[in-house]
């Protein structure tokens, strides 16, 4: 690390080793702080207790079902948001009147904090699944619309001009130039927003819910079971890591032209 120069690439093995070593350092610090008696067990469980608590959760309290329901909520809300937001974003990027119509409102709406909607959404939709999906939907939809619109709108003009001189019409330009040109960006935007959707679902589950990872965490708080809480948080992190990895794999496969 110290021998490296700015922007100089490093070998894969070295890269993996460095990435892994920070996890080791993190757990080591945590172990010293807790097992060494520097931090009270009431406030922070040690790693061993955390793993034991996690095992109990998984084997005896059906935590797997909680994980499954949280994942399905995130995917559901995110999917609905994507299906609506991506086409609107593409239209906004391609057609300036559409952009002029939506852009000011969407720019305003994306600063509305999704978590602040939760009390209102509970009034409207109760504490069922609809409310959870709506929180994720509100949190994601405006972000996706705006970012997709920017990406499509910044398509290289010379590619569009080339398509016109080859006989493409407006529809052809949108379908066969603007969309494929920004497809990798759109995939990247979705990956990013999916990460944010995880935050919204947990917040939604912390307030008014009877299942899910967030619900387990708030339940554990009442029992001062910090080991369980930390286990829940780590599970969220791991799922995020896996979904990120899957997204990257899919992008790599679909957008080979960009990476080679």
Question: What is the binding site for another protein (CB under 8 A)?
Answer: 156, 158-159, 161-169, 172, 176-177, 180-181, 183, 255-258, 260
Helix (H), strand (E) at residue 232: helix 226-254
Instruction: Compute the least distance from the CB of residue 254 to another protein, in Å.
Output: 10
CB of 185 to another protein, least distance (A): 12
For 79, the token pair is: 């999917």
Q: Which long-range contacts (CB under 8 A, 24 or more apart) does 189-193 make?
A: 189/144, 189/147, 189/148, 189/151, 190/78, 190/82, 190/86, 190/144, 190/247, 191/244, 191/247, 191/248, 191/251, 192/147, 193/78, 193/81, 193/140, 193/143, 193/144, 193/147
Residue 116: φ, ψ to 5°: -70, -15
Choose among 230, 206, 231, 202: nearest CA to 219. 206
Of residues 199, 207, 229, 212, the one with CA closest to residue 68: 212
By C-beta, is 128 or 172 nearer to another protein? 172
Please report how many Cα atoms fall inside a 13 Å half-sphere around the Cα of residue 25, on the Cβ side. Answer: 6
Nearer to another protein, 15 or 258 (CB): 258
Length of the chain: 260
Nearer to another protein, 126 or 172 (CB): 172
> Among residues 122 and 179, whose Cβ is nearest to another protein?
179
Q: How far is the CB of 86 from another protein (least distance, A)?
A: 17
* Contact criterion met (CB below 8 Å) for 120 and 145: no
Closest distance of CB 252 from another protein, Å:
14
| Residue 143 beta carbon to another protein: minimum distance, rounded to whole angstroms | 25
When the beta carbons of 97 and 167 are compared against another protein, the nearer one is: 167
Question: Least distance (Å) from another protein to the CB of residue 186?
Answer: 13
**Least separation, in Å, of the C-beta of 92 and another protein?**
22
Residue 148 or 216 with smaller CB distance to another protein: 148
- Using the 8-state DSSP alphabet, how is residue 207 labeled? S
Task: Give the whole-angstrom CA distance, residue 98 versus residue 143.
Answer: 17
Residue nearer to another protein on the CB measure, 178 or 203: 178
């Amino acid at each position: 690390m110290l021998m490296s120069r700015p922007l100089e690439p490093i070998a894969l093995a070295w890269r993996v080793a460095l990435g892994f070593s920070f996890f080791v350092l993190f757990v080591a610090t945590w172990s010293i702080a807790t097992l060494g008696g520097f931090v009270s067990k009431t406030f922070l469980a040690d790693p061993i207790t955390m793993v034991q608590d996690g095992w109990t959760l998984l084997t005896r309290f059906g935590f797997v079902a909680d994980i499954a329901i949280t994942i399905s909520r995130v995917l559901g809300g995110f999917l609905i948001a994507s299906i609506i937001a991506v086409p609107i974003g593409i239209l906004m990027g391609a057609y300036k009147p559409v952009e002029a119509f939506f852009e000011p409102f969407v720019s305003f709406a994306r600063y509305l904090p999704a978590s602040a909607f939760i009390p209102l959404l509970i009034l409207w939709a109760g504490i069922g699944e609809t409310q959870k999906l709506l929180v994720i939907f509100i949190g994601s939809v405006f972000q996706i619309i705006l970012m997709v619109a920017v990406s499509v709108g910044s398509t290289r003009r010379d590619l569009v001009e080339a398509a016109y001189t080859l006989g493409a019409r407006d529809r052809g330009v949108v379908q066969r130039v603007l969309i494929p040109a920004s497809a990798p960006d759109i995939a990247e935007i979705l990956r990013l927003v999916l990460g944010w959707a995880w935050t919204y679902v947990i917040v939604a589950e912390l307030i008014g819910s009877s299942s899910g990872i967030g619900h387990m965490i708030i339940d554990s708080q009442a029992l001062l079971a910090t080991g369980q809480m930390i286990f829940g948080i780590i599970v969220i992190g791991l799922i995020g890591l896996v979904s990120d990895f899957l997204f990257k794999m899919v992008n790599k496969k679909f957008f080979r032209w960009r990476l080679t």
